[in-house]
Amino acid sequence: MQISTVKAGTVTVAVLDGRLDTVTAAGAEQQLLGLLQEGGLIADLASVPYISSAGLRLLLKAAKTAKGAGVTFAVCASQPTVREVFEISGFNKVIPAFATRDEALAGA
């Protein structure tokens, strides 16, 4: 899992690249929670082909951390398989999910 960042005003876009699973979730969690200390965060999942329950837990933790800090957290650009997991699990009702990065930035 590689994570690169792009600053967009007061929001950071974290571009995740690779599987978000049990092996990668701990490292990704450390990076994403660190980024949330700087302000709002959008997780761009365009290059994430797979997400496991560990990945979902990470995103939920990030959303709860953001809410507690009073900052934005959202995901965007999910591939169809990841979007389906979000919808089946109901996470799309808990974490704002946008079709594109531009939509996420507009909603942030």
pTM beyond cutoff 0.75: yes
The rounded Cα 31 to chain-centroid distance in angstroms is 11
Q: Which residue in this structure is represented by tokens 């490292």?
A: 27
**Distance in angstroms (rounded) separating the CA atoms of residues 8 and 57:** 26
Q: What is the pLDDT of residues 20-59, one digit of tens each?
A: 999 999 999 999 999 999 999 999 999 999 999 999 999 9
Residue 9 has pLDDT above 80, yes or no: yes
Q: Which fold has domain 2-107?
A: Transcription Regulator spoIIAA (3.30.750)
